[in-house]
Amino acid sequence: MRLAQSQDRFAVETIVEAAYSHYIARIGQKPGPMLDDYAALIEGGHVHVMDDGKMVVGILVLIQEADTMLLDNVALHPSAQGRGLGRQLLAFAEQTAREAGCGSIRLYTHVLMTENIAIYTRAGYHETHRGEQKGLQRVFMTKSLAES
């Protein structure tokens, strides 16, 4: 994992397109991550990329808030799915949040992305509420990072 550089923008946008485009038919519009300004997010130091030695295969968008970390986007190229890399991305996000002094990490996903809700629930996130944001129906979830 490393911070994305400006030259990674095309790879980041390619992964986002590949990871989210199949949801367009299901939700009737482009998912939020497909609308983000990745040049600005990369410039702001919010995008991390996972490289498998040949190419960028995964991305994380992390935005620190007051005492929590927003996991704004986690995406894997479909060719890299099924190898445990998603769990590695989530673990990296949580470790980054801990190192930043955050007590929790939060995220949101579209209500119709039910497989994502299941993944996050298995990873220890719990639903806090549902609501509309930026014209999208979202499920908001959080996970405490307190050491047990």
Q: What is the DSSP string of 27-72?
A: HTS--GGGGS-HHHHHHTT-EEEEE-SSSEEEEEEEEE-SSEEEEE
**Considering Cα of 13, then 129, then 27, then 22, what sign does the dihedral take?**
positive
pLDDT at 147: 57
Supply angle C-alpha 28, 73, 125, rounded to 5.
100
Closest CA to 78 of 106, 57, 109, 52: 57
**What confidence category does residue 102 fall into, taking pLDDT thresholds of 50, 70 and 90?**
very high
- The bridge status of strand 68-76 relative to strand 104-110 is parallel
**What confidence category does residue 148 fall into, taking pLDDT thresholds of 50, 70 and 90?**
very low
pLDDT in tens, 28-40: 999 999 999 999 9
pLDDT at 84 over 90: no
- Mean pLDDT value across residues 65-80: 92
Give me the CATH number covering residue 68.
3.40.630.30
Rounded-to-integer distance, Cα 121 and Cα 23, Å = 20
Mean pLDDT, the chain, whole residue set:
93
The number of domains in the chain is: 1
**What confidence category does residue 81 fall into, taking pLDDT thresholds of 50, 70 and 90?**
confident
147 SS3 class: coil
To which H or E segment does residue 132 belong?
strand 126-133
pTM score: 0.91
Instruction: Kindly tell me the burial class for residue 97, based on how many C-beta atoms sit within 10 Å of its own C-beta (0-12, 13-18, 19 or more).
Output: buried
pLDDT at 78 over 80: yes
Cβ-Cβ contacts under 8 Å for 100 (sequence gap 6 or more): 64, 69
- Mean pLDDT value across residues 97-102: 94
pLDDT at 82: 80
**What confidence category does residue 134 fall into, taking pLDDT thresholds of 50, 70 and 90?**
confident
pLDDT at 52: 84
Residue 26 contacts residue 112 (beta carbons within 8 Å): yes
Host domain of residue 13: 2-144
